[in-house]
Amino acid sequence: MEKKDFFDDPRKVEKLFWVFYVLIAISLIAEFFIHKHIFFKWEEYPFFYGVFGFLAFTVLILIAKYILRPIIKRREDYYD
Q: What is the domain partition of the chain in residue ranges?
A: 1-34, 41-80
Dihedrals phi, psi of 77, to nearest 5 degrees: -100, 25
Q: Rg of the chain's alpha carbons, rounded to an integer?
A: 21
Cα dihedral 45, 49, 50, 51 in deg (nearest 10): 60
Question: Does 77 score more than 90 pLDDT?
Answer: no
pLDDT of residue 19: 97
Confidence at residue 25, expressed as pLDDT on a 0 to 100 scale: 92
Assign 69 a pLDDT band (cuts: 50, 70, 90). very high
pLDDT of residue 20: 94
State the pLDDT at residue 76: 86
Task: Measure Cα distances from 48 to 28, 38, 63 in Å.
Answer: 11, 11, 22
